Structure 1
């Protein structure tokens, strides 16, 4: 695709498998209630239930069924409260505006408590706005919130049925994906393929798997044997990943037989099949492959023990299974006191905490003023556009504003055209099925594409009963444009942090550099700690940093240009982690002088200080130690970025 890089980033899609079953489930969840309502003469009730099913489907995410139900449950609770409050204040313009602004403030604070709280607060704000502005016809005041809850519960019920019918296990699938990405990483070693991209995909898979398995294990107290097996397989992959990293650093390839075995193991973990036999891998008997043999034999032993345990449930876990410990796993339950402490800390937070919240509140104030002066049929659409686009923790404001603006324009035109040109309800109902099915396909691929499919569904659910025309379509388009314009002009352009790359990325780069320094100290044994845990933490920080920079690349210059200037630092830090692993696995860690280890760690900390802007020269100077040259070379590369004065 031609054009400036930031334009290409706006249109870039994530390449992910097509979620066929989820597409079918979401289509049924959203379309069936409104279809039954139309058939039995209760269209209004069917629309309300479908609105709830839409909310339940959109807020559903990957994870264990328990975590998914909890996420949708809290989101539904937030939406229910918003529906009730919005119905109470409907028809009172000043009270409505005050409550919406206050809801944005409270929702912004609650968003800091985690992903679930963020989704719940957004649903609260959206349905507060919708219920206070939309016309649901001559129905009792209690019916819209109750219909919403019934619809969301219907969506959850279908998700539970799907998981039972397909016997799906998110933890098992996530662990299998780790082995699949490991095989890709192995295939990239020693060839022309970029090993950095393969390693990044492996890191993302590891992050996702650890999040799912750790959460599951914490909730059951570590007692579930299936979760213990998932944790064991996940941890057993770590030594193999480390050896693969060492070979990637030295540009040494890995035999196709080993790669094929790892891919087969991935498939068998996903299907819970008996293990494949390692004996046919005669290549592992060669001296040059003994470094990989130990890790792969451990995986094989674990698979065989689990196959035996499946036929003998009372069998004791093997030593390798007992030895597996998930980093960060805990059996402590989150208490109300801990939540309140989190809210208190958020309120007491500094500038970095309050700036995005104040942006949201200020834009909502401006949006309410504009809506009060507006003569359109659905002025609440302006404020709802602001709420969804400027959510503090939902990625690039500019990208979401542009993608939502373009996507909503297309979606409104499609939805309104179907309502205006199609007599009766048959064609719109068919369209709801189609667009609802396409939503899961687009949700993780591109926000703009997701909006194109989501908006016609919203338009038809809100206007199918009242009818719609091209005048309403033009009104929706103009409302969206006004909302996005307010976000850009009030919530994006005037704020200094928008344009200062150091304030946006410096603290995150500093955290990643500090994680590297910890890994160097722990890996070389100068401070106590678990090497694999420290390495994983370093990669997790770098993975999060990559995500933030990728979002910034979709913004126009100078933001995208300065964000691109940080990439050499990230690359240097990632390669420094790889180099540290390679030196340690070569058995050279014990021969390194502790003073030199501290010098290396201080160099990593110095890169973090330079990113924050607290120093101008990321000292110290590094020694010319041949054994440490791969690591020192990457640290020097990171230092050189700041010595050139780049940001």
Structure 2
């Protein structure tokens, strides 16, 4: 009886507890604080304010600090060359935005039309990529600020000050470039080696899947950094060639890891230790002949890992790798003009791009109409809230609206204390130094935390411009709630694609690509480089699918519930790719080749699963039988496919 009462009590508590999709965004992410970014943000926002105070032009200093805030938000890249693009290019769009906004300031319906058009362009270009997304954000953000706040004349002064603030952030971020030119790329390659060591170490544990995901993410990051830099440099620089060789030689080790995992027992501690030795050698740039101390291999999986490790030791410690043997696993990026033409074509001809742009334009237009009809003091805050909530490539609109409201409320508590207790003047500089430092520290923890950190900074800078003090606080809360409501209704509920998810179709494409990979891996052709490229693309696509599902999990029912139900199938497909790679590695190192038609039968099973996912919005049944020798090299692969089939048709 007592046990039943306790169970009933737990059930009542569970019903009263907030749903997971709601509280997930309030958990701080377990990420380290980026201390260099913290220092840059503090200096970048406080220094212009101090200069403005010293010269008697505090408004100019506040505008430069606003530009620096935009630069801090965009300063997310590791490689120095990418920082130039991530900060400088968006600043150009921000300057255009504030110019357009200031030109229509006080012009009523002309301002409504102009901001609606800017919102359409901002939403459409966001689909191009990360830099374009931040550029679109600053274009619309600064246009809203320019149309809502009086800017100092002449017209060019505000965009110049905002741009100088952003370029100041860029200057601070590039100070160490002469001493650490390739340090980010080297750190990324060494970090990938360490992630592989951790995955091999966890081969016989439940933590393997999580560690393998970390390997995929680190590989993607490292290839993006190195290939992106090589695309912008003519010729083949020695350091980049060496890093490319060290990254490519890691691929056979990554391929051997699933074979060791599927074997079902652990590895000798000397193996992950050897991989960590390679990571240290990459990190420190060591060369010379080094022989690894490895156990004697006895199985095909062990022979594959032993061979890959010995080859990696030879390449990593070689002082001058053969540049003719560098294989860009994902292919080098196209020329800039070609990528520009592709991006323009995708923006103009993509239905998704137009839908995103129209959603954003509708919400901004409604917000501007509302504040034009109903007197709302400092009305730009309504549109600013919509900009941050509804940027379509930033994640779940529903979850972000809730997190924005919660984060704004938390930030306003801090802002109220600052505006009520700290006298305006030179005290603003040390206060800004502290508040600005919190932005990158809190941004790493989640969106609600980032909003809570940014809100008092914007309010303090706004007060420097319009001197309203504590009276800014409560209107900003109401404006934020109005903006969140507009985003939820006009940007979420009115668009069926928001709550009718396409995650099934995305997963089906990944399953179909997996079927192609299975057939190619055991087909008549034996182009290892092409096989590796296919596997890397497939892992990258699966990583994207996983991100889509994780974003869908933050949505309310039915989308969140459906994503949760299909989530095990995403993991199952990743395990199928691992099993395929492991089987091929075992064949390459002595295991017998599978019988004719075995791989084709597996591919047929996967394609039927993909077709079922495309036709249904629910989990599907798969009826094709899948049989084969239980001792064959493809037996683990068939087992993983059967597991996926069981997940897809739980009642069948």
- Fold agreement, TM-score > 0.5: yes
Go from structure 1 to structure 2 and tell me whether the alpha carbon gap of 1:20 and 1:342 turns closer, same or farther (over 3 Å shift).
closer
Deviation at 1:353, TM superposition (A): 4.1
In 2, the alpha carbon distance for the partners of 1:527 and 1:455 equals 58
Offset of 1:528 from its aligned partner? 6.1
Counterpart among 625, 631, 635 of residue 637 in structure 2: 631
How many angstroms apart in 2 are the aligned matches of 1:22 and 1:527?
Answer: 49
Determine the structure 1 residue equivalent to 2:350.
349
Residue-by-residue CA offset, 1:296-350 (whole Å, 9 max, x unaligned): 11111112213xx4xxxxxxx34xx542301233364221x65345333433333
CA distance in 2, matches of 1:71, 1:43: 28
Aligned to 1:314: none
Q: Displacement of 1:382 after TM fit?
A: 0.5
* 2:503 aligns with one of 502, 505, 529: 505
Gaps of 5+ in 2: 1-13
CA gap 1:644/1:168 in 2 versus in 1, 3 angstroms:
same
- State whether residues 415 and 456 of structure 2, in contact with CA within 8 Å, keep that contact through their aligned partners in structure 1: yes
Distance in 1 separating the partners of 2:22 and 2:57: 45
Matches for 1:451-600 after TM superposition, within 5 Å: 451-501=451-501, 504-526=502-524, 529=527, 530-587=530-587, 591-600=593-602
- Specify the SS of the correspondent of 1:325: coil
* Distance (whole Å) between structure 2 residues aligned to residue 46 and residue 166 of structure 1: 31
For residues 359-413 of structure 1, the C-alpha deviation after alignment (integer angstroms, 9 at most, x for no partner) is 2222122211222133232111101111221012111111211111111222133
Counterpart pick for 2:295 among 262, 265, 284: 284
Cα distance, 1:427 vs. partner? Answer: 3.8
Partner of 2:625: 621
Q: Following the alignment from structure 1 to structure 2, what is the Cα–Cα distance between the partners of residues 75 and 122?
A: 8
Q: Distance in 1 between matches of 2:525 and 2:496?
A: 40
User: What is the CA distance between 1:571 and its match in structure 2?
Assistant: 1.4
Alignment of 1:207 onto 2:213: no
State the match for 1:147 in structure 2: 161
Aligned to 2:611: 609
Q: Does 1:189 align with 2:236?
A: no
Provide the TM-score with structure 1 as the length reference: 0.91
Which residue of structure 2 lines up, in the alignment, with residue 298 of structure 1? 311
Q: 1:575 to 1:284 in 2, by over 3 A?
A: same
1:69 aligns with 2:73: no
Shift of 1:166: 5.1
| Secondary structure, aligned partner of 1:344 | helix
CA distance in 1 between partners of 2:62 and 2:540 (Å): 43
Q: Is the 1:86–1:130 Cα contact (8 Å) retained in structure 2?
A: yes
Alpha-carbon separation, structure 2, partners of 1:272 and 1:95: 60
Unaligned runs of 5+ in 1: 310-316
SS at match of 1:592: coil
**1:125 positional shift:** 0.7
Task: Report the equivalent of 1:83.
Answer: 98
Cα 1:229/1:619, change in 2 over 3 Å? farther
Match of 2:139 among 118, 124, 141: 124
Whether the 8 Å contact between 2:288 and 2:318 is mirrored in structure 1 is no
How far apart, CA to CA, are the structure 1 residues paired with 2:362 and 2:591?
A: 54
Structure 2: how far apart are the matches of 1:571 and 1:341? Answer: 33
Does structure 1 conserve the Cα–Cα contact (< 8 Å) formed by 2:347 and 2:353?
Answer: yes
State the TM-score, normalized to the length of structure 2: 0.91
Q: The residue matched to 2:466 in structure 1 has which SS?
A: coil
Distance change (3 Å), C-alpha of 1:590 and 1:86: farther
Give the equivalent residue in structure 2 for 1:225.
238
Structure 1 match to 2:437:
437
Q: Distance in 1 between matches of 2:592 and 2:384?
A: 60
Measure the CA separation in 1 of the matches of 2:584 and 2:103. 65
Counterpart secondary structure, 1:163: coil
Please point out which of 639, 645, 649 is paired with 1:643. 649
Tell me if the contact between 2:77 and 2:86 (Cα under 8 Å) persists in the aligned partners. Answer: no
Q: Count residues in correspondence.
A: 627
**Alpha carbons 2:509, 2:610 under 8 Å: kept:** yes
Matches within 5 A, 1:317-356: 317-318=321-322, 322-330=324-332, 332-335=334-337, 339-350=340-351, 352-356=352-356
Please name the residue that 1:312 is paired with: none
Shift of residue 165, structure 1, vs aligned partner: 4.7
Deviations 1:513-540 (A, max 9, x none): 1221222122113456522222222211
Aligned to 2:247: 234
**Once the 2 structures are TM-superposed, how far is the Cα of residue 549 of structure 1 from its aligned partner?**
1.2
- Given that 1:599 and 1:622 are in contact with CA atoms closer than 8 Å, whether structure 2 keeps it comes out as yes
CA RMSD of aligned residues (A): 2.4
Conserved? CA contact 1:510–1:608, under 8 Å: yes
**Is the contact between residue 381 and residue 480 of structure 1 (CA under 8 Å) also seen in structure 2?**
yes
* CA distance in 1 between partners of 2:235 and 2:190 (Å): 20
The 5-angstrom pairing of residues 342-421 of structure 1 reads: 342-350=343-351, 352-421=352-421
Q: Is the 8 A contact 1:87 1:131 kept in 2?
A: yes
For the structure 1 residues 442 and 270, does the alpha-carbon distance in structure 2 shift closer, same or farther, using more than 3 Å as the test?
farther
Structure 1: distance between partners of 2:368 and 2:579: 55
How has the CA–CA distance of structure 1 residues 552 and 431 changed in structure 2, closer, same or farther, with 3 Å as cutoff? farther
In 2: Cα distance, 1:111 partner to 1:259 partner: 41
In structure 2, the CA distance between the partners of 1:221 and 1:570, relative to structure 1 (3 Å rule), is farther
How big is the shift at 1:256? 2.0
Q: Which runs of 4+ in 1 moved over 6 A?
A: none
Q: Is the contact between residue 371 and residue 383 of structure 1 (CA under 8 Å) also seen in structure 2?
A: no
Task: Provide Cα deviations, 1:571-624, integer angstroms capped at 9, x if missing partner.
Answer: 110110111112112218872245332222232222222222179654643223
Confirm whether residue 113 of structure 1 aligns to residue 119 of structure 2. no
Distance 1:67 1:338 in 2: 16
Alignment-derived partner of residue 449 in structure 2: 449
For the Cα contact (< 8 Å) 1:610–1:642, is it kept in 2? no
